[in-house]
């Protein structure tokens, strides 16, 4: 139950164990074509151009930067944790002039501050992290993207810990470039970087004055490949990781079969169940308010007097959790991933393991308090679930 890599459904795992196909075999061409269409549907980007490339989420971030940004371009990065800082580092490496608007860990900058910051310079792009995995904080993307678009500024969203788990409408919200990786809410093994570029992002790339500062990362290499496979024609620039593409195909069939609304609703209900349990167990969330807490993961403070020994105790109870990641929170917080193919079984198993570990360490809450709170959410009818309190 870490925030990636997450559990992988058996149908996805099965594809990883098959003999690698030729990248020009008809069955593979069909798969890759379906994957490109599926990624477009997952991002809700009917006018978007997907790129599916071997690499991790960080490559997707780098591809966003090298294709969109030219040396000297002013950019604004909203930082809500470790991965916002990473975006700023990548941008600096490629010569952007980076302005940072950061919030205290667990907070988001108010929308009015972002507006004001956007007015501060003639920015090329606004960089946002949908869910920052180091703080569990979720940004409200839609109004920020609208504010950027109103000023002719591109919006780039790192959705690595959000896509497929948090509501996201790339085209409707006016997000120009969104990216994720295969191993988080998508529920496939790590190894694929996914990007979807909207028309403005592609136009910006086409109008560049300087060459893209990367050979493998250049959209110019990949655009003909993506277009060919989507038209069910083979093409070659660099060998695609055929087993991972097949695994992603299986994962996307599962996600799109479930449907985007039910998928987002399942993650929201899972998060409510976990938050009810945290409250019953006296565990405080790093996000300052439930309204800015992610549905895909929880970042929590250790209870008074406890540290990472708690995670070892939970592991002994059979559940793997993640330690702190944000430099300012590393010793004080831990993280529970709740994205991907999980349901009531995983929720109750996780809460139960944490509860037993806390009890052994002398916690005062009665064993079962966290489970009861989670069950109350899980047992409620969908239409009783308006309680945004959680
Ligand atoms: C995991 C993560 C990344 C980095 O992805 P890798 O696949 O580890 O390179 C970037 N941004 C966010 C928000 C993430 O959660």
Give the tokens for residue 103: 């919030």
pLDDT in tens, 220-277: 999 999 999 999 999 999 999 999 999 999 999 999 999 999 999 999 999 999 999 9
Q: Tell me the CA–centroid distance for residue 60 and ligand 1, in Å.
A: 9
The DSSP output letter for 328 is T
What residues does 125 pair with on adjacent strands? 75, 154
What's the rounded Cα separation, in Å, for the pair 96 and 287?
30
Q: pTM for the full model?
A: 0.97
Q: Tell me the CA–centroid distance for residue 193 and ligand 1, in Å.
A: 10
Q: Helix or strand or coil: residue 235?
A: coil
Distance of CA 75 to the CA centre of its chain: 21
Q: Please say whether the beta carbons of 232 and 31 come within 8 A.
A: no
What's the pLDDT band for 386 if we cut at 50, 70, 90?
low
pLDDT in tens, 111-150: 999 999 999 999 999 999 999 999 999 999 999 999 999 9
pLDDT value of position 236:
96
Q: Please say whether the beta carbons of 75 and 69 come within 8 A.
A: yes
Ligand 1, atom 6: nearest CA belongs to which residue?
Answer: 57
Question: Is it the case that residue 390 has pLDDT exceeding 70?
Answer: no
Question: Is it the case that residue 280 has pLDDT exceeding 60?
Answer: yes
| Distance set, CA 272 to CA 115, 159, 181, 290, 294 (Å) | 31, 21, 25, 9, 10
Q: Helix or strand or coil: residue 247?
A: helix
Greatest pairwise CA separation for the chain in angstroms? 65
What's the rounded Cα separation, in Å, for the pair 315 and 192?
28
45 closest CA partner among 140, 163, 143: 163
What's the pLDDT band for 383 if we cut at 50, 70, 90?
low
Q: Helix or strand or coil: residue 329?
A: coil
Q: Tell me the CA–centroid distance for residue 350 and ligand 1, in Å.
A: 23
Q: Which atom of ligand 1 is nearest to the CA of 59?
A: 9
Q: Tell me the CA–centroid distance for residue 129 and ligand 1, in Å.
A: 10
Give the tokens for residue 316: 């002994």
What's the rounded Cα separation, in Å, for the pair 75 and 127?
8
Q: Which atom of ligand 1 is nearest to the CA of 3?
A: 15
pLDDT value of position 387:
53
Give the tokens for residue 284: 């405080």
Q: Tell me the CA–centroid distance for residue 106 and ligand 1, in Å.
A: 18
Ligand 1, atom 1: nearest CA belongs to which residue?
Answer: 160
Give the tokens for residue 5: 């890599």
Q: Please say whether the beta carbons of 127 and 156 come within 8 A.
A: yes
Q: Tell me the CA–centroid distance for residue 80 and ligand 1, in Å.
A: 14
Q: Tell me the CA–centroid distance for residue 155 and ligand 1, in Å.
A: 18
Q: Please say whether the beta carbons of 146 and 173 come within 8 A.
A: yes
From 4, 181, 294, the mutation candidate for ligand 1 (largest count of ligand atoms within 8 A of CB) is 181
Name the phi and psi angles at 284, rounded to 5: -90, 135
Q: Which atom of ligand 1 is nearest to the CA of 58?
A: 9
Q: What is the mean pLDDT of residues 57-66?
A: 98
Q: List all residues 6 or more positions away from 172 whose beta carbon is below 8 Å from its beta carbon.
A: 44
What's the rounded Cα separation, in Å, for the pair 318 and 352?
10
pLDDT in tens, 170-201: 999 999 999 999 999 999 999 999 999 999 99
What's the pLDDT band for 364 if we cut at 50, 70, 90?
confident
Question: Is it the case that residue 385 has pLDDT exceeding 60?
Answer: no
Ligand 1, atom 3: nearest CA belongs to which residue?
Answer: 57
Q: If you write DSSP's letter for every residue of 138-201 in order, what string do you get?
A: E--HHHHHHHHHHTT-EEEEE-TTTTTTS---HHHHT-SEEEEETTSTT-S-S-EEEEEE-HHH
Q: Tell me the CA–centroid distance for residue 150 and ligand 1, in Å.
A: 29
What's the rounded Cα separation, in Å, for the pair 251 and 344?
20
The residue with tokens 């009783």 is 384
Pocket of ligand 1 (CB under 6 A): 4, 56-58, 83, 129, 132-133, 158, 160-161, 181
What's the pLDDT band for 334 if we cut at 50, 70, 90?
very high
pLDDT value of position 363:
81
């Amino acid at each position: 139950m870490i925030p990636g890599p997450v559990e992988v459904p058996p149908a996805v795992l099965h594809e990883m164990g098959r003999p690698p196909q030729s990248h020009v075999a008809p069955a593979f061409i069909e798969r890759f074509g379906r994957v490109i269409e599926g990624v477009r549907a997952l991002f809700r980007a009917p006018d978007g151009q997907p790129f599916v490339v071997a690499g991790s989420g960080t490559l997707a971030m780098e591809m966003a930067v090298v294709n969109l940004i030219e040396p000297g371009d002013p950019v604004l990065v909203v930082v809500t944790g470790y991965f916002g800082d990473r975006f700023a580092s990548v941008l600096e490496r490629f010569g952007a002039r980076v302005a940072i608007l950061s919030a205290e860990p667990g907070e988001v900058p108010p929308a009015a501050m972002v507006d004001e910051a956007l007015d501060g310079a003639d920015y090329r792009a606004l960089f946002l992290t949908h869910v920052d995995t180091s703080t569990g904080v979720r940004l409200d993307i839609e109004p920020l993207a609208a504010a950027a678009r109103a000023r002719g500024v591109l919006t780039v969203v790192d959705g690595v810990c959000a896509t497929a788990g948090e509501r996201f409408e790339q085209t409707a919200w006016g997000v120009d470039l969104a990216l994720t990786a295969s191993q988080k809410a998508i529920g496939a093994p790590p190894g694929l970087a996914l990007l979807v570029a909207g028309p403005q992002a592609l136009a910006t790339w086409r109008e560049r004055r300087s060459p893209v500062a990367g050979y493998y990362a250049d959209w110019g290499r990949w655009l003909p490949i993506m277009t060919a496979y989507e038209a069910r024609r083979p093409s070659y620039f660099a060998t695609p990781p055929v087993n991972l593409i097949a695994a992603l195909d299986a994962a996307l069939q599962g996600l799109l079969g479930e449907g985007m609304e039910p998928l987002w609703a399942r993650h929201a209900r899972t998060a409510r169940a976990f938050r009810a349990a945290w409250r019953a167990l006296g565990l405080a969330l790093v996000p300052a308010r439930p309204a800015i807490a992610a549905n895909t993961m929880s970042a929590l403070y250790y209870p008074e007097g406890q540290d990472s020994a708690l995670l070892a105790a939970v592991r002994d109870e059979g559940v793997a959790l993640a330690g702190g990641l944000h430099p300012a929170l590393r010793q004080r917080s831990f993280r529970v991933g709740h994205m991907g193919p999980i349901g009531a079984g995983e929720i109750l198993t996780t809460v139960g393991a944490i509860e037993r570990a806390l009890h052994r360490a002398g916690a005062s809450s009665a064993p079962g308090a966290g489970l009861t709170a989670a069950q109350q959410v899980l047992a409620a009818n969908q239409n009783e679930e308006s309680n945004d309190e959680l």
